[in-house]
Structure 1
Amino acid sequence: MPIQFLDSRMSLNNTFSLGTAILTSTPTLLGDIGLQTVAAIGTPNESDVRILLWGTVGVSRSSTNLVNIYVERGGTGIFGSGELIFNSTIDLTSGPGTRLFTFTAGDFPPVSNVITGQIRYTMYVASATETPVTIVGPVSFNGSAQAGTS
């Protein structure tokens, strides 16, 4: 079947370069989208759904730290309740400053997820060490769903 557009969504947590939220070692939910797959249900495309996800996270730190970005499929909005499909660990070099991280991830969800009509994706961010890391923004999480093979 030809390529079929299914859905596109975005989650904007913070659109400006300012903020005061402090990251901890417990992953913080910063992005949450539900991508519709209804149009592929019952068609030959049902088993050829693919998801493209991308996001941006701006942080500020005073010294060396590690920041982890996680993306899960499914789940309840609590880290670990879904299936981890993406993880990136970013090493913040020493010294004060602000960094802007961007990432792209892909997913080929199983048919069992597609036939529910909507697949939830969540983005979490955590700090790996005790040195404070502040979420300053911008923070966004976006996704699109397509189906088909040609």
Structure 2
Amino acid sequence: MSIQFLDMRIAQDSTSDTPALGLSSSSFPYTFGDIGLQTTSVSPENVSLVRVTLNAYARLTLSASSSSTVVPNATFTILRNGTPIFSTVYQKPATQFETIYEMSGLTAVDYPPAADVLSGQIRYTIYVVTNYGITLGARCFSGSAVAGNG
């Protein structure tokens, strides 16, 4: 059977770097993407063959830490129906003492279980936490789902 397109969704939390959103270690987690991929149109023979691709982007500003033992970082976590399925950390280089600006992009994939597919919608959420302090500029999250093995 050929590939079956199921759904594509986007969440655009901010379209610009200004005004920026400052986060600290006490202001987390910050959710900047929440999408529900529809799976009601999946063919019965494709229920166990669903694949999801998730993409996120966030402009980061990381300032120098006032403590030599703290290296500022941003941890991005993606959840499927509330369960973490992907996590990655962007850490400022420990030897870099000035403020840095980074464009952080990530791609994650998921093979959701048949029970989630049969529910008709799979909810994906992304959030960010920090151990020190970061500023978020433009940020977005998107996902698409297909089924089949063609």
Q: TM-score range by the shorter chain?
A: 0.7 to 0.9
1:57 CA displacement:
0.7
Q: TM-score, normalised by structure 2?
A: 0.88
- Identity in percent: 35
Q: TM-score, normalised by structure 1?
A: 0.88
Moved beyond 4 Å, runs of 4+? none
1:135 CA displacement:
1.0
Aligned counterparts, 1:57-136, within 5 A: 57-63=58-64, 64-74=71-81, 82-93=82-93, 94=96, 95-128=98-131, 130=132, 132-136=133-137
Q: Compare CA radii of gyration and give the structure with the larger one.
A: 2
Alpha-carbon separation, structure 2, partners of 1:105 and 1:50: 11
Q: Where in structure 1 are there 5+ consecutive unaligned residues?
A: 75-81
Alpha-carbon separation, structure 2, partners of 1:20 and 1:14: 9
Alpha-carbon separation, structure 2, partners of 1:6 and 1:115: 13
Secondary structure at the aligned position of 1:114 is classed as: helix
| Root mean square deviation, CA, Å | 1.2
Alpha-carbon separation, structure 2, partners of 1:92 and 1:118: 37
* 8 Å CA contact 1:68, 1:87 repeated in 2: yes
1:59 CA displacement:
1.4
Q: Where in structure 2 are there 5+ consecutive unaligned residues?
A: 65-70
